[in-house]
Amino acid sequence: MRKWIAGACLLYVLYGLFFYWYLFKTGDSSVPEALKGTSADPATFMNKKELILTEDYSKIKDFIFFLRIPLEWFLFFILLIAGLSRKMTHWAEQTSRFKVVQIAAYVFVLFLIVTAASLPLDWISYQYSLGYGISTQPTASWIKDQVIDFWVSFPLTAGAVMVFYWLMKRSEKRWWLFAWLLTVPVTLFLFFLQPVVIDPLYNDFYPLKNKKLEYDILKLADQADIPANHVYEVDMSKKTNALNAYVTGIGANKRIVLWDTTLNKLNEPEILFIMAHEMGHYVMKHVYKGLAGYLFLSLAGLYVIAKLYKWIIRRYGNSLHIKGRTDLAALPLLLLLTGVLTFTASPFTNAVSRHQEKAADEYAVELTKNKKAAVAAFQELSKAGLSEANPPFLVKIFKYGHPTIMERIQNVEQNADK
């Protein structure tokens, strides 16, 4: 056990050293010679201080991102190999004779452990965001968001675990398929509820206050044959200086949302371009395609997880203190496998997302006929969020669901010139 723990610790340290070396020493984020002096070159729209801050902040932010990802995997492995998950199961079984209560108790303790272990990195990330002027969120508000995260995630996870273990007992061979069939309506339901139930827990949403701007946006929507009655804004300026807008929800709860920081920092043509981009997602049905893709990947993922889960327990069950597939003590193994597979699939899912975002950019330029506003909007997005225009390769493939700012500006200008 000590060798396994020592090996896991060494592996995590080596992983962290690799990304430190990659991000701070060798990762290439320089501007290609052919683009220097163009509108895609940060030196043309940022001053020297902003350039330095962007480089420093991006490296720190990306380093924390990569450290954060395998932290939970490491923690789950330690809980298994050290027998702590087994002890947690014994404690949970003593809390009640009802299995539902036992699972809820176990998941609650597991969530507390994961939250406590992750909190230092999350706190450091928050402090850096404050220090670099990205975050404006008071500490009390930040803590409130962490608490909300916990109480939103805990019941959803506990409910999923109860269903999964019940299905494992009912069908050892096809539990993963039945689990997936249940995730389809649940995912659609949660996606339907998110704009009106979950999102308002974190921020206040209200119809766009600027009625002239709302009229122009709805007029643009009418040009695109999009049925829309309201555009919403959200008070993100209480938490950040970054800019954003997005489409969320499905059916009657579908919303186009603008951050108030975007309203405060961009002019009307730039805002209309951002809105046209979001309309592009609607016209090209990216929300529904994304949901379909997620459900397909979750089916493949659950199948792979089921096979790996069975094999690992058969071969290493004794070492991990797991009695069988329906043993509650094996839950960290399920979560570890889910996390690893999700991360492994992220280059593919990010590539698909970048393709959709590029298509939405092209649609927005075609709809607004305003390349200048598009370029200016991208430049402001980069400045407000201290985002690198050309991040290192590994950062891009594992983290970026949008094309880089440099790619977006290049693409807009090339398509506008055709």
Q: Where in the sequence numbering do the catalytic residues fall?
A: 278, 361
Binding residue positions for Zn(2+): 277, 281, 357
Residue 71's contacts (CB-CB under 8 Å, 6 or more residues apart) are 12, 117, 118, 121
The residue type of 391 is P
Q: What is the dihedral of CA 93, 98, 99, 102, to 10 degrees?
A: -40
Q: What is the dihedral of CA 101, 201, 143, 23, to 10 degrees?
A: 100
| CA 71 from centre of chain | 16
For 255, the enclosing helix (H) or strand (E) is strand 255-259
The residue type of 259 is W
For 245, the enclosing helix (H) or strand (E) is strand 245-248
Give 57: exposed, middle or buried? Use CB within 10 Å, 0-12, 13-18, 19+.
buried
Q: Which of 38, 32, 6 is nearest to 375 (CA)?
A: 38
Q: At what angle do helices 331-368 and 99-131 cross, to 10 degrees?
A: 50
